[in-house]
Structure 1
Amino acid sequence: MDIKSFIDSTYLKTAAQAGLDENQNQEVLKTFVNEAIQEGFKLIMIRPEMVSLARKIVLDTSAKLLIGTVIDFPSGNSTIETKLNEASQAITEGADELDFVCNYEAFINGEIDLVKSEILKGTQLALANNKIIKWIIEVAALTDQQIIQLSALIKNVVLTHFSEADYNAVFVKSSTGFYKTANNEPNGATIQSIIMMLENASPLPVKAAGGVRTYEDAVAMIQLGVKRIGTSSAKEIVHRRHNQNEY
């Protein structure tokens, strides 16, 4: 299994979250990008303010590494216009893929038309610029029924407004990995949540993110049917595979 083709190698910490100043965090980002190039990863996932720096490194090294970024991260409750402006800026600065945080709070509150509108407009923007888009639904904030309903809502908006040729470019993604849960409950992808997403988002692809830290975790998600895995443990996952192959 070419597990690298499934992995979005992720670094989404702010300087404050990493316990660093801004310059130090930029140095961490540079190391992260260069390691991703050396490892032959397909894509990195970083914050929007880091996209231009990452793009410069990729251009300077003539690497094939793709750059993904997050939009309205991690809360997802900004206006549609704010999300579109942030996404447009990221595209201008060199992002290849856009992971939007869906306004799951609006969905929980019954503001369904608002959610449908942002799914439609965000997807239109991404596809018009030949970008892959992923909608993060934040499964840890939702009940099982809400996971099912929101996955189906995204699917239905895409199937209603876009052609079959576009489906593979619009993902439903589990989590930001930054949601604060009570009692140390999982804040990211679980087997149960991913199964519900796969059953209700199809034919749209699903990305598992949050809590995928080991080779075994990654293989389990791939065997369920996910097409992408977002993880900050990409290097460890890949090297675990290599170690297995040596024995």
Structure 2
Amino acid sequence: MEINKYLDATYLKTANQANLSEKENQQKVIDLIKEAILFDYKLVMIRANYISLAKELLVESGKEILIGTVIGFHEGVSSIEEKLVEAKNAIDLGADELDFVINYSAFKKGKIDLVKEEITKGIEICLANNKVVKWIIEVAALTDKEIVVISQLIKEVVFNVFGADKAANVFVKSSTGFFKTENNLPNGATLNTMKLIVDNAKPLNVKAAGGVRDYETAIKMINLGVDRIGTSSSKEIVNKEKNSNSEY
């Protein structure tokens, strides 16, 4: 299995979050892009202010590696209009895939119409510009039942508003990786949460993100039906595949 083609190599910390200078943080992004070029990952997932830099380095490399960025990150509470402005900016900069943090707080409060409108308008702007859209539902903030319902809701909007032929351009994604949990509980993808998404979002694509740090877990996710893995441990995963004689 070419596991590198499942990987969205990810670095989303701001300089403040990483406790680095802007120059040091930019170097982290450059290092990620160089690693992506070396290992031929599917995509680099970075903040929008680094898209131009990424495009320049990837064009020079001649590699067809996609660029992804995040919208409404990381709490998802910004307004629909604010998210659409962010999305337009990312598209103009040259992002290939946009990972929106859904307004899961509004969803939990029962504001389903608002969430449906957000999903519809977010998909609309991405499809109109031939981009892939992913909806981060933040599984650690949701109950199992809520994961089922919100996954079904996204699928319902895709099929009812845009049609089955657009399903390949829409993902349901587990997590931001930034959610703060209590009692050291997982804040990202688990096998249980990903099975719930796969069972209820398919035939939409599914992305596992947050907490997938080793080859064995990545393989389990893929075998479960996950189409893409967002991780800051891409190099470790790829190297383990290269050095492993395991039969998966």
Say yes or no: TM over 0.5: yes
Greater CA drift, 109-118 or 194-203? 194-203
| Paired position in structure 2 for 1:105 | 105
| Paired position in structure 2 for 1:184 | 184
| Paired position in structure 1 for 2:18 | 18
Contact 2:99 2:136 in 1 (8 A): yes
2:161 aligned with 1:143: no
For residues 241 and 63 of structure 2, the distance between their equivalents in structure 1, rounded to whole angstroms, comes to: 24
4+ residue runs of structure 1 moved beyond 3 angstroms? Answer: none
Superimposed CA distance per residue, residues 92-131 of structure 1 (whole angstroms, 9 cap, x where no aligned partner): 1110000000000000011100000000000011011111
| Paired position in structure 2 for 1:117 | 117
TM-score by length of 1: 0.97
| Paired position in structure 2 for 1:86 | 86
**Unaligned residue ranges in structure 1 (runs of 5+):** none
| Paired position in structure 2 for 1:199 | 199
Contact 2:158 2:164 in 1 (8 A): no
Superimposed CA distance per residue, residues 181-222 of structure 1 (whole angstroms, 9 cap, x where no aligned partner): 000000000111111111111211111110000000100000
Give 1:41 deviation, angstroms: 1.0
| Paired position in structure 2 for 1:32 | 32
Give 1:245 deviation, angstroms: 4.0
| Paired position in structure 1 for 2:5 | 5
Equivalences for residues 221-232 of structure 1 within 5 A: 221-232=221-232
For residues 137 and 196 of structure 2, the distance between their equivalents in structure 1, rounded to whole angstroms, comes to: 12
2:160 aligned with 1:160: yes
For residues 15 and 224 of structure 1, the distance between their equivalents in structure 2, rounded to whole angstroms, comes to: 35
Greater CA drift, 210-219 or 158-167? 158-167
2:132 aligned with 1:132: yes
**Unaligned residue ranges in structure 2 (runs of 5+):** none
Amino acid at match of 2:157: V
Q: Report the identity percentage.
A: 57
TM-score by length of 2: 0.97
Amino acid at match of 1:26: Q
2:219 aligned with 1:219: yes
Give 1:164 deviation, angstroms: 1.8
For residues 34 and 115 of structure 1, the distance between their equivalents in structure 2, rounded to whole angstroms, comes to: 37
For residues 188 and 28 of structure 1, the distance between their equivalents in structure 2, rounded to whole angstroms, comes to: 22
- CA RMSD for the aligned pairs? 1.3
Amino acid at match of 1:219: I
For residues 146 and 62 of structure 1, the distance between their equivalents in structure 2, rounded to whole angstroms, comes to: 43
| Paired position in structure 1 for 2:52 | 52
Contact 2:9 2:32 in 1 (8 A): no
For residues 36 and 202 of structure 2, the distance between their equivalents in structure 1, rounded to whole angstroms, comes to: 30
For residues 71 and 167 of structure 2, the distance between their equivalents in structure 1, rounded to whole angstroms, comes to: 20
| Paired position in structure 2 for 1:174 | 174
What is the SS of the residue equivalent to 2:197?
Answer: helix
Give 1:18 deviation, angstroms: 1.6
Amino acid at match of 1:86: E
| Paired position in structure 1 for 2:236 | 236
